[in-house]
Amino acid sequence: MPMVYSRARVAEQAIDAGAVLVNDVSGGLADPAMLAAVAAGGVPCVVMHWRGHSHDMNSRAVYGDVVGEVVAELRARMDAVVGAGIPPERLVIDPGLGFAKLAQHDLRLVAGLAELRALGRPVLVAGSRKRFLGRVLAGADGTPPPADGRDAATAALSAIAAHQGAWAVRVHDVRATADAVRVSHAVAETRAG
């Protein structure tokens, strides 16, 4: 599924070329023309939690209650997106793992997916190979594995997210993740039956 990021002109061109979803990591904040472009294009839009550009986002990773604050900030972005003419049924939300968040924030957000789902929109979890997984997997000396050494952790995270009702996960190693999600669903079905 083709996706586009943060620039309205790129989104317009991608939609014209057949893109079926716009994934704007800024939630329409980086380019003021983005929301109008998506509304005109008639495609679904991923609205990610975002507090600023990568050069200063770590300084913005300050939360009292990360889940509550992310939910409130996403709700405000959803209102802005709908106000710009994008129907609410075309919205997908993303908690923005790794964006203006420390490892403990990312883990808490994954644990709190039910609170994000309460916003009433599908939830995309994009944690593949992220820095917080490296922190979880770090050796005794604190050295995290390289990004491509985090695929098993990504599969585990994706299975947890799927079990908690995530609509989709974004990953690098599709096969391992699909297998992990299938096993998670099989266990859940057995428990329900």
Helix axes 34-41, 8-16, angle to 10 degrees: 10
How far apart are alpha carbons 19 and 15 in whole angstroms?
Answer: 5
Token pair 């992990």: residue: 180
- Which pair of tokens denotes residue 25? 């990591």
Which helix (H) or strand (E) element contains residue 47? strand 45-48
Could you tell me which residues come within 8 angstroms of residue 47 by beta carbon, excluding any fewer than 6 positions away?
A: 24, 27, 28, 74, 77, 78, 81, 91, 92, 93, 94
For the chain, report the end-to-end CA distance as a whole number of angstroms. Answer: 33
Which are the catalytic amino acids?
A: 130, 170
Which helix (H) or strand (E) element contains residue 125? strand 124-125
